[in-house]
Chain A
């Protein structure tokens, strides 16, 4: 395999092997900078060599070996620069001992899992966690990450450099947290992945393909986590949630760039493969919980809600009572105003707009500056024929949303209200 086929193979290897190569080097050399640079050099070498002499039989092994050699070369050069006396010492200090502390050994020994927990460490700012995760685990270039988050490349480069410097200076450990900590720490990791997903999904107006790529990247990270922690319900739940949400990506924005609600979406445009994969994960979790796994957390419940929506052939066929039941469970876990708002929207479908409006009005104090609150209120008021109030609520919602697709949708809804008598 040479030429263009080799280039395709390199792209595939980059997707599948990058995180493994970086994570292995990070453990061996105890230095994320070195790991990142050496991995990047190995891929550059692949681009030079593979099209010429062919793809090696074990591309991942070739990349790891090449990257390790590059890293050792770099450490040697560094040592020589510092003088022969310190060379041996410097080299030794770069090599981390194998992790043998039984306390710190987590459920799984994959280096990539250690890298996940280092990149998503709570001592790092959220934006640094996101950037590091995309660079070191996702293999995106600094330029790609900068474009996706609409910041200057130098700003993003600095963000990543600072985060790596903090990891080194403060000794953020390179290991899977102990059993007593892993729950909280894993929840933090899932937050990072879901944030990356939403960054892409909510921006997804079609004219910003680089941002929507973030959704694909988050799904890829979700798959990786699910491979590393197949037994964890919330990991599976998040992956299912992202798949079932992303399946509707193409249908949720119209040709004119306007947001299309779930109710109005053309369900033939939904991605059936993603839905099938998401449904399978949700069924797997239902079976696991029935067999004694811990009760579902937030992501599993949200995935189940999305499974009910995507199971229905049309909006009218949606099993709203099941959705309200699931929201009740979610409210018990997370009684935040936004969750209660979403529950009220489901209540409107089951019991009608009047009881839903009563619930929503109780949230005014908490959600007065949230556009979706006013949009939901406007819709219920319109259904109750309270047109003037509905118009005022749409105005508030339009003024508060920053998303053009959403603004276009809300404006059309407002225009569709009967004119005041």
Chain B
């Protein structure tokens, strides 16, 4: 079955409660996200999900030269960065989009949906 990554974005250096205005709001979002994850598992969509530490903790490495170049901070300089993600299995994009909408509501964030490469798309890449 096709796999999709559902990514959630958040501020590079968020406040004490992440993107949430208060501790209560944060706990509510965690509870809703937990319930959403359970539903994904129950219905057979769940592959993996996790949240990331804030982007200020990122280190960027370029190992293409002779000695690796190590830089403090995320690769892209933007105000918002990947904050967490789900990997799901779904039969088609309509199902993935419906789940993304539910996940977005649960975690209080905008969700980007992207398909993973498949054996066919990889073959097509080799053929090109």
Which residues of A are at the interface with B, using a C-beta cutoff of 8 A?
81-82, 93, 121-123, 169-173, 177, 181
Contacts and interface: CB of A to CB of B under 8 A. Distances in A.
Contacts of B94: 172-173, 177, 181
A171 B97 contact: no
A93 B120 contact: yes
B2 interface: yes
Ordered nearest first, which 8 A-B pairs have the shortest CB separation? A173-B92, A171-B92, A170-B93, A170-B115, A172-B93, A171-B93, A171-B2, A169-B115
Nearest to A181: B94
A170 B114 CA distance: 7
B67 interface: no
Contacts of A172: 92-94
Interface in B61-116: 91-94, 96-97, 113-115
A171 B120 contact: no
B127 interface: yes
23 contacts: A81-B127, A82-B127, A93-B120, A121-B93, A122-B97, A123-B93, A169-B115, A170-B4, A170-B93, A170-B96, A170-B113, A170-B114, A170-B115, A171-B2, A171-B91, A171-B92, A171-B115, A172-B92, A172-B94, A173-B91, A173-B92, A173-B93, A177-B94
B44 to A, nearest CB: 15
Max chain B CB contacts within 10 Å: which of A93, A123, A171, A172?
Answer: A171
Given A170-B115, A171-B91, A181-B94, 19 more contacts: A81-B127, A82-B123, A93-B120, A122-B97, A123-B97, A169-B115, A169-B121, A170-B4, A170-B96, A170-B113, A170-B114, A171-B2, A171-B115, A172-B93, A172-B94, A173-B91, A173-B92, A173-B94, A177-B94
Interface of B: 2, 4, 91-94, 96-97, 113-115, 120-121, 123, 127
B102 to A, nearest CB: 14
A46 B60 CA distance: 59
Contacts of B120: 93
A81 B128 CA distance: 12
A186 to B, nearest CB: 15
Contacts of A170: 4, 93, 96, 113-115
Contacts of B91: 171, 173
A121 B93 CA distance: 10
Contacts of A123: 93, 97
A332 to B, nearest CB: 28
Contacts of B115: 169-171
A181 B94 CA distance: 10
Nearest to B97: A123
Nearest to B127: A82
A181 B120 CA distance: 30
Max chain B CB contacts within 10 Å: which of A93, A123, A181?
Answer: A123
A169 B120 CA distance: 10
Contacts of A181: 94
A15 to B, nearest CB: 31
Nearest to B90: A171
B11 to A, nearest CB: 26
Nearest to A117: B94
A173 B114 CA distance: 15
A147 B93 CA distance: 32
A171 B120 CA distance: 12
Nearest to A78: B127
Contacts of B92: 171-173
Max chain A CB contacts within 10 Å: which of B4, B92, B94?
Answer: B94
Contacts of A122: 97
Contacts of B93: 121, 123, 170-173
B48 to A, nearest CB: 19
A275 B119 CA distance: 55
Nearest to A121: B93
A47 B93 CA distance: 39
